[in-house]
Amino acid sequence: MTTHRINFTKKTIESLPNAVKGKRDHYQDSRVKALRLEVTDKGKKTYKVYRKKGGRPIRYTIGDVADWSIENARTKAEEVNALISKGINPNIEKRKMREEMTFGGLFDMYLERYAKKHKRTWEQDRWEVQKHLSHWLNRKVSSIDKNEVQRLHTKLGKNSGLYQANRILARISSIYNKAIEWGWDGTNPAQGIKKFKEKSRDRFLRPGELPFFFEALQEEAYTTACDYILMSLYTGARKSNVLSMRWTEIDFDRAVWRIPETKNGESLTIALSAEALEILKRRQKETNRKWVFPSDRTDGHLSDPKKAWKRILVNATIKFWYTHTQLAPLVDQAMQRSKTHTNNHQLYTAIQNLAKEKDVELPIGLMDIRLHDLRRTLGSFQAAAGANQYIIGKSLGHKSQQATAIYARLDLDPVRESVQVASTAIRNAGNKKGKK
């Protein structure tokens, strides 16, 4: 068997001719000696590893040229070569992986070998898999097929939203791509499945909704969650940054919060309004732990307070309905029909059932508000107060090529003024009440 030695480049590989009918041509990379390329008479091109150990040849298939970049193929060849040097047969390892690996085992490998080293959001990855893919954890990796992934994607799109469904699809694809890169010779079941077309959200808390929202906040018993929600509203910071806020990041003298690292991979200094400082000063007297919003169950910080958030939205929506003259009798009737309502969720359900019975269409109220919309709310109030896009972008930590130059020169004082005006407007709007 003749092997031609060439420098593997995209252009060189694409120009290689098909082998003679019934034959296969072999090429050796001039940079990584163990890396070979096999070309069939049909034009199929496959990366392989060829190495002799103890006088015996060891051949290992990496994968099709279409699925592997040259650099990734070289890296893989070096990994396989290192295993052979240690006396480990990579084909046996691959077979073990194919026969024994469960999706849960693969995901643990994905976390340790990739996500924890290269992704700041690896904890979010773990949470998403445990929530949406826990039924796969004990399944063999090869038993999960494309049809199953497609059904899951469709189901999540219906039940959890298009954005969440697309995130899970991307997560599955990434996990399987890493498995293939690490030697698994199966196929990625997420490949070829089209993502849902996502619509950009423009939802935020409107001035007329804030009174009900603030009143519901005051009635919520979980005060840590309420303070976290208000801090999110008054700073416009991302959810993960507010949740993990530390006291060492707060400078009370300068009234700023310095976030060491944001989603963009850069630090961010946020001007704190009087409303935000009021919350922080009160909380500082209540907790001596390093977190501004400590968890009640662990030594870590507060996790996403979804239950409290749902209670607040339900309560605020009931209040919203009650101020509508044509809906108030419906709410009263639902309350009178049953005296056994122990919480607002039960009352909310009773109102929905009564409305359906009477063929009354209820407005959605505040039920479609998400935590991330609080960030958009601050920006919308800044815009309403006349702030320009650069001021708003600076305060929210947006990153864009167009604004980068002006961000570098922008002083924090006009940003602070904009945030303060918006925060005061939010608080004032939240203290207003009225009947529609």
Cβ count near 296 (within 10 Å)? 8
Which three-class secondary structure state does DSSP give residue 251? strand
DSSP string, 24-80: EEEEEESSSTTEEEEEETT--EEEEEEEEETTEEEEEEEEEGGG--HHHHHHHHHHH
SS (H, E, C) 280-341: HHHHHHHCCCCECCECCCCCCECCCCHHHHHHHHHHHHHHHHHCCCCCHHHHHHHHHHCCCC
Query: What CATH number was assigned to the domain covering residues 3-88?
Result: 3.30.160.390
Element (H, E) at 211: helix 210-219
Taking alpha carbons only, the member of 369, 390, 379, 372 closest to residue 425 is 379
| Backbone φ, ψ for residue 291 (5° rounding) | -90, 140
Q: Is 209 buried (19+), middle (13-18) or exposed (0-12) by CB count in 10 A?
A: buried
HSE value, Cβ hemisphere, 13 Å, CA-based, for 356: 6
**pLDDT at residue number 412:** 65
For residue 401, what pLDDT is reported? 40
Rg of the chain taking only CA atoms, in angstroms: 29
Distance CA(291)–CA(197), nearest Å, equals 38
Q: DSSP assignment, residue 141?
A: G
d(CA 276, CA 270) in angstroms, rounded, equals: 11
Q: How far apart are CA 144 and CA 149, in angstroms?
A: 7
Domain 210-306+369-430 has CATH 1.10.443.10: yes
Phi, psi (deg, nearest 5) at residue 258: -105, 110
**Phi/psi of residue 46, nearest 5 degrees:** -130, 135
> Tokens 């419906």 appear where?
330
Closest alpha carbon to 293 in 337, 239, 220:
239
What's the pLDDT at 96? 66
pLDDT tens per residue across span 350-400 = 999 999 999 999 999 999 998 988 988 888 888 888 877 777 777 777 665
Q: What pLDDT, on the 0 to 100 scale, is given for residue 399?
A: 63
**pLDDT of 405:** 37
- Where the chain has pLDDT below 70, the residues are 1, 96-100, 120, 200-201, 263-265, 338-341, 398-414, 433-436
* Beta strands at 268-271 and 35-40: parallel, antiparallel or unpaired: unpaired
Please give the C-alpha separations between residue 324 and each of 150, 271, 284, 316, 363, in angstroms, as whole numbers. 43, 38, 40, 13, 10
Pairwise CA distance, residues 175 & 190, whole Å: 10
Q: Residue 189: name the closest of 199, 176, 179 by CA.
A: 176
What does the pLDDT read at residue 387? 78
- Angle 355-360-365 from CA coordinates, rounded to 5°: 80
The count of C-alpha atoms lying within 13 angstroms of the C-alpha of 69, restricted to the half-sphere facing its C-beta, is 4
* Residues 429 and 210 sit within 8 Å (Cβ to Cβ): yes
End-to-end CA separation in angstroms for the chain = 86
What pLDDT score does 198 carry? 73
- Hey, what are 30's tokens? 């001039």
- Is 0.75 surpassed by the pTM of this model? no
Q: What is the largest CA-CA distance in the chain?
A: 90
Partners of 102 in beta bridges: 140
